[in-house]
Structure 1
Amino acid sequence: MEDVRIDVVDAEHAGELLTVRRAAFVTEAQLYGDPSIPALTQTLAELLVDLDRAEVVTLGAWVGHRLVGSIRVELEAERANLGRLAVAPDLQGRGIGTQLLMSVLEYLPEQTQEVWVFTGQDSKQNLAMYAKQGYEHQYDQNAGDLTYAYLRRILGDEPEDAETV
């Protein structure tokens, strides 16, 4: 999708970010029959604390003045953990999630050697997007009734058919 601007989300956009995440994660909640997934239960106060953490970078995708997507990156030593990749439901399937995923690399410290992400084991579209960008399945983990798939990308390994932004 053209005219998408990727930038850091700050506290000024926290309410809008919370709305985009909740709208995007309703589909996941329906897929798994679990309305209590963390992306849906996080409060605005909790989100503001998270946005203020030095080891967390939250990127947003804007079309005009509208925040249409986001991704959260938590940095620890030589590893980055991605989470909360969300795209507004009316714009899903247009490459915004892929743009966010690829943009993360620009915000990682030089010492970062690997990037991890997890998603529901049944989230086929998410798994396919991550695989296309060079993420490889490492293991599954059960969390109550849900099973999460954990994927890793070693930096410096370029996916063969990665899309360009």
Structure 2
Amino acid sequence: MSDAPTKIALVEDDHAGELLTLRRAAFVTEAQLYDDPRIPPLTQTLHELREDMARDDVVTVGAWEGHRLIGSIRVELEGSKATLGRLAVAPDKQGLGIGTQMLMAVAPYLPPDITEVWVFTGKDSKQNLSLYTRNGYEEQFDQAAGDLTYTYLRRVLGSVEVKDETPAQ
């Protein structure tokens, strides 16, 4: 593990290539889990990614270790709802809390009128589901998309806090 502190910042267009590389590396395990190399994070082009990043209703937040992008999360804003997607952590940094850090990093980038945050993942992505439920997201429903079934989870802001494992004194 590097001694450089992790910095959270918006991912700008000049880092789009690095973001695309990070996402592709991070989502290989998902593609293997579902035996599908054509999942959207692996097939998105650089042009499509740049168009997505330029949208007024999309914010992309990154975790940086020095000059290296080691994590990212996409936030789509719609009315009073934010939907998180494409949570990616560099394969050599997985399991170190970067995913949790990315989930927590979203809050400062949300407009004040956001009252709920949604996230979705493949129904068989047990590690992802565990990450989200540990951080206050509750399963709402499953939805099929072709051969894949997504589980949608929701967190109502202000009503659920992350569980503190420290015993009360």
Q: TM-score range by the shorter chain?
A: over 0.9
Give the aligned partner of residue 28 of structure 1.
30
Larger Rg: 2
Aligned residues, how many? 163
8 Å CA contact retained: 1:56, 1:72: yes
Q: Cα deviations across residues 122-151 of structure 1 (Å, max 9, x unaligned)?
A: 111111110011000000011121111000
Give the TM-score taking structure 2 as reference length: 0.93
Give the aligned partner of residue 137 of structure 1.
139
Over the aligned positions, Cα root-mean-square deviation in angstroms equals 1.3
- Name the aligned partner's letter for residue 75 of structure 1: L
Give the aligned partner of residue 14 of structure 2.
12
Give the TM-score taking structure 1 as reference length: 0.95
1:142 alignment partner, SS class: strand
- Provide structure 2 residue ranges, at least 5 long, that are not aligned to the other structure: none
Give the aligned partner of residue 81 of structure 1.
83
2:130 alignment partner, SS class: helix
Evaluate the alpha carbon distance shift between residue 160 and residue 12 of structure 1 in structure 2; reply closer, same or farther with a 3 A threshold: closer
Report how far residue 160 of structure 1 moved. Answer: 4.7
Report how far residue 162 of structure 1 moved. Answer: 5.2
Give the aligned partner of residue 106 of structure 2.
104
Give the aligned partner of residue 127 of structure 2.
125
8 Å CA contact retained: 1:134, 1:162: no
Give the aligned partner of residue 148 of structure 1.
150
45, 48, 52: which one aligns with 2:54: 52
4+ residue stretches of structure 1 with deviation over 4 A?
none
8 Å CA contact retained: 1:133, 1:162: no
> Which range is displaced more, 17-26 or 140-149?
140-149
- Name the aligned partner's letter for residue 151 of structure 1: L
Paired-residue identity, %: 67
- 1:92 and 1:38 map into 2 onto residues whose CA distance is 20
- Provide structure 1 residue ranges, at least 5 long, that are not aligned to the other structure: none
